[in-house]
């Protein structure tokens, strides 16, 4: 059967920075590298527009105004322009927030859940173990693991559980396949589908890898300094191997923190 899903756009919502050696352990350079936060706009024949993550937003500044959340802003300084918000970019495509029927959140780190308050009419789907874990963490511990209470509030109110172990076809046959990719966070997942337009198999792999170099060779992973920010380094390694295997099979892997230009096809 033909695919029902099309990748419409990759939205660049801003960036943070980190030394090159943090992203790839083989790099010895202190050169600062931009790390974009991408969101993905899909269209489903039966269900309409779907967002996969929502990236950064000005809400990040609100969420990190006070301590301990302000430490997050210091460690990962965010640069974005108003025109980079998901809402502004959707409008460039002639799409209003009310046109987005479903938002699928790969995980709940702050660079993936911006502007959710603007999508109050959308169905938000999230793996329940991810939300449970994020909510159980408090104060500085929650911030250290990449979660911000203010940004989690819309998920708590509107989020609906999906199980990563669910059968292929999250939104029906010939649709989206959930791929378990935990490690970077408690219960992160990717989405695999056949793009209706290009007929290319695509895996939206979120933060399962930090660079395409790592997808091609998992040995190009982040430095030990980055391990402390992850839920589980052994699980991360297992997930990147899974992503690498998909790449070897000819699946186009799209990451949340590689440049849009280098990944569009």
Residues 210-248 have pLDDT tens digits of: 999 999 999 999 988 788 889 999 999 999 999 999 999
The residues near 197 (Cβ < 8 Å, ≥ 6 apart) are 6, 7
Residue 2: pLDDT band by 50, 70, 90 thresholds?
Answer: confident
Q: Among residues 203, 211, 212, 215, which one has the least CA distance to residue 241?
A: 215
pLDDT of residue 214: 97
Checking if the pLDDT of 118 tops 50, the result is: yes
pLDDT of residue 82: 93
48-52 and 32-44: which strand pairing? antiparallel
Q: Among residues 185, 158, 180, 154, which one has the least CA distance to residue 168?
A: 180
Residue 160: pLDDT band by 50, 70, 90 thresholds?
Answer: confident
pLDDT of residue 167: 45
Residue given tokens 């159980």 in the structure block: 136
The domains of the chain, with CATH numbers, are 5-263 (3.60.15.10)
Per DSSP, what are the bridge partners of residue 146?
none
Q: What is the pLDDT of residues 165-178, one digit of tens each?
A: 544 567 777 789 99
pTM (two decimals): 0.95
Taken in order 138, 141, 146, 148, is the CA torsion positive or negative? Answer: positive
Higher pLDDT, 264 or 186: 186
What radius of gyration do the chain's Cα atoms show?
A: 17
For the stretch 88-94, contacts whose Cβ atoms lie closer than 8 Å and that sit 24 or more positions apart, written own/partner, are 89/9, 89/11, 89/13, 90/11, 90/41, 93/8, 93/9, 93/41
């Amino acid at each position: 059967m033909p695919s029902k899903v099309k990748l419409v756009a990759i939205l660049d919502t801003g960036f943070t920075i980190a030394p090159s050696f943090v992203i790839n352990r083989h790099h010895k350079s202190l050169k600062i590298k931009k790390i974009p936060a991408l969101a993905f706009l899909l269209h489903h024949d039966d269900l309409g527009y779907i967002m996969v993550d929502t990236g950064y937003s000005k809400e990040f500044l609100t969420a990190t105004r006070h301590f301990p959340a302000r430490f997050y802003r210091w460690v990962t300084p965010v640069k974005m322009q108003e025109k980079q918000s998901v809402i502004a970019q959707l409008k460039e495509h002639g799409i209003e927030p009310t046109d987005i029927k479903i938002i699928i959140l790969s995980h709940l780190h702050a660079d993936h859940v911006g502007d959710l308050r603007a999508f109050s009419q959308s169905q938000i789907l999230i793996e329940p173990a991810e939300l449970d874990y994020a909510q159980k963490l408090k104060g500085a511990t929650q911030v250290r693991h990449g979660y911000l209470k203010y940004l989690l509030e819309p998920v708590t109110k509107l989020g609906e559980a999906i199980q990563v172990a669910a059968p292929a076809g999250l939104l029906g046959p010939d649709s989206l396949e959930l791929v378990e990719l935990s490690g970077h966070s408690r219960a992160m997942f990717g989405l695999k589908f056949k793009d209706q337009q290009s007929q290319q198999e695509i895996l939206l792999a979120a933060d399962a890898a930090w660079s395409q170099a790592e997808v091609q060779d998992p040995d190009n992973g982040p430095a030990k300094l980055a391990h402390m920010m992850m839920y589980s380094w052994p699980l991360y390694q297992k997930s990147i191997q899974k992503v690498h295997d998909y790449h070897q099979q000819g699946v186009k892997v799209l990451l949340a923190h590689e440049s849009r230009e280098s990944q569009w096809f």
